[in-house]
């Protein structure tokens, strides 16, 4: 039988196949002769394993995808674009590879799911990305491991500390540590009225730390998403903010543009690669603004559809090919 891979995702009905990276990866797996299955967080359980002891189980659904084509600069989505097979109750190690692709927030349900996935790891399942690393690599804080590559940054709950940093830098960006897709990111100036009140709000009266970074005016030329597979950059897309907006995330109106990597960006990728490989972070998206590392996205990095559409680069197929070449995912 061909290789099976399980994708832990948000509800299938919510995914936009013309934009969703998980869908692109599942379709690529099917093209490679494999079988994609899916489940949600609530479908994971721990029960007695047939081989003895306890293991993870899953309520999973096999999927069959219709092929999609990119025509005149856009993806044409067939109707239906996916067909779901019968739900089956299976031990997690029925799947040699499991993709953890549930979108943030990294809340209690998400964290508990990573522990259940680790039960599968102990029985030989390869989980992408490694559950322990999903817990350890907060997508904002993990970039501090490579702080010399970042814009000047402070992380604190204290209003005085954040206000002092804003005065020193003049213009800063505030980022909630659990945010995603640009949500909750705020631009502030040291001279703006009500700065301390805003800092009280974003820290929830000094109960939660936030990240403050010096504002990089180069963001107006774009925020580059670079997709790394097993530490190697396979593709990138430049996201340009819309008029009147400093955030470049596609979810808040940023426009994707074709791009190439600069020498500095390749240096950043090469520096990150050993740590990503060592930590089991096989599929990662980093964000770079004006040659500065901004974030390291490990939960459910996006951008594959845009890279494929703008650059005619089959990055999903390349990703699956590398995975199949590096994992024992043969017949069962």
pLDDT tens, residue by residue, 224-271: 999 999 999 999 999 987 665 666 556 555 688 899 999 999 999 999
Identify the weakest region by mean pLDDT among 26-35, 72-81, 147-156: 72-81
**Higher per-residue confidence, 179 vs 267:** 267
Catalytic annotation present for 225: yes
Long-range residue pairs from 256-263, CB within 8 A, at least 24 positions apart, any chain = 256/303, 256/306, 256/309, 256/310, 257/222, 257/310, 258/310, 258/311, 259/222, 259/224, 260/236, 261/224, 261/226, 261/233, 261/236, 262/291
Q: Please say if 126 is a catalytic residue.
A: no
pLDDT cut 90: percent of the chain above it: 78
Distances in Å between the alpha carbon of 171 and those of 14, 216, 241, 309?
A: 37, 9, 18, 35
pLDDT attached to residue 53: 82
Write down the pLDDT at residue 63: 98
> Which listed residue (101, 169, 180, 239) is catalytic?
239
Active-site residue, from 225, 292, 305, 309? 225
247 is catalytic: yes
Residue with tokens 């259940």: 116
pTM for the model stands at 0.92
175 is catalytic: yes
Is 167 an annotated catalytic residue?
no
Residue 328 confidence class, pLDDT cut points 50, 70, 90: low
Selected catalytic residue, list 295, 305, 306, 309: 295
Q: Which two tokens stand for residue 179?
A: 């945010």
Give the separation between CA 206 and CA 204, rounded to whole angstroms. Answer: 6
Residue 317: active-site member: no
238 is catalytic: no
Cβ count within 10 A of residue 98: 28
What is the pLDDT at residue 255? 82
- Would residue 239 show up in a list of annotated catalytic residues for this protein? yes
Indicate which residue of 126, 140, 149, 309 is catalytic: 140
Cα separation, 221 vs 218, in Å, equals 6
CA 195/CA 302 separation, integer angstroms: 33
């Amino acid at each position: 039988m061909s290789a099976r891979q399980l994708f832990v995702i948000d509800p299938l009905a919510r995914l936009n196949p013309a934009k969703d990276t998980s869908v692109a990866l599942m379709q690529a797996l099917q093209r490679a002769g494999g079988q994609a299955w899916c489940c949600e967080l609530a479908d994971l359980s721990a029960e007695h394993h047939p081989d003895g002891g306890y293991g993870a189980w899953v309520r999973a659904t096999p999927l069959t995808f219709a092929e999609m084509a990119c025509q005149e600069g856009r993806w044409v989505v067939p109707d239906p674009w996916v067909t779901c097979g019968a739900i089956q109750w299976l031990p997690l190690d029925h799947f040699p590879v499991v993709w953890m692709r549930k979108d943030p927030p990294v809340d209690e349900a998400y964290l508990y799911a990573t522990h259940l996935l680790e039960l599968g790891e102990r029985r030989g399942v390869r989980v992408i990305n490694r559950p322990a690393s999903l817990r350890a690599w907060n997508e904002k804080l993990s970039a501090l491991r490579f702080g010399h590559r970042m814009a000047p940054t402070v992380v604190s709950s204290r209003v005085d500390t954040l206000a002092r940093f804003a005065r020193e830098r003049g213009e800063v960006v505030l980022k909630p540590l659990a945010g995603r897709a640009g949500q909750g990111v705020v631009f502030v100036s040291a001279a703006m009225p009500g700065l301390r009140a805003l800092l009280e709000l974003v820290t929830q009266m000094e109960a939660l730390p936030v990240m403050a970074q010096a504002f990089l005016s180069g963001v107006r030329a774009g925020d580059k998403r670079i997709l790394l597979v097993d530490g190697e950059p396979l593709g990138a897309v430049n996201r340009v903010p819309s008029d009147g907006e400093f955030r470049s995330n596609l979810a808040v109106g940023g426009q994707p543009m074709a791009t190439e990597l600069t020498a500095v960006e390749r240096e950043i990728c090469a520096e990150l690669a050993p740590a990503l490989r060592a930590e089991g972070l096989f599929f990662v998206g980093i964000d770079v603004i004006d040659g500065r590392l901004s974030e390291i996205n490990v939960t459910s990095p996006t951008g594959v559809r845009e890279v494929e559409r703008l650059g005619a680069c089959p990055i999903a197929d390349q990703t699956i090919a590398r995975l199949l070449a590096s994992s024992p995912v043969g017949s069962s």
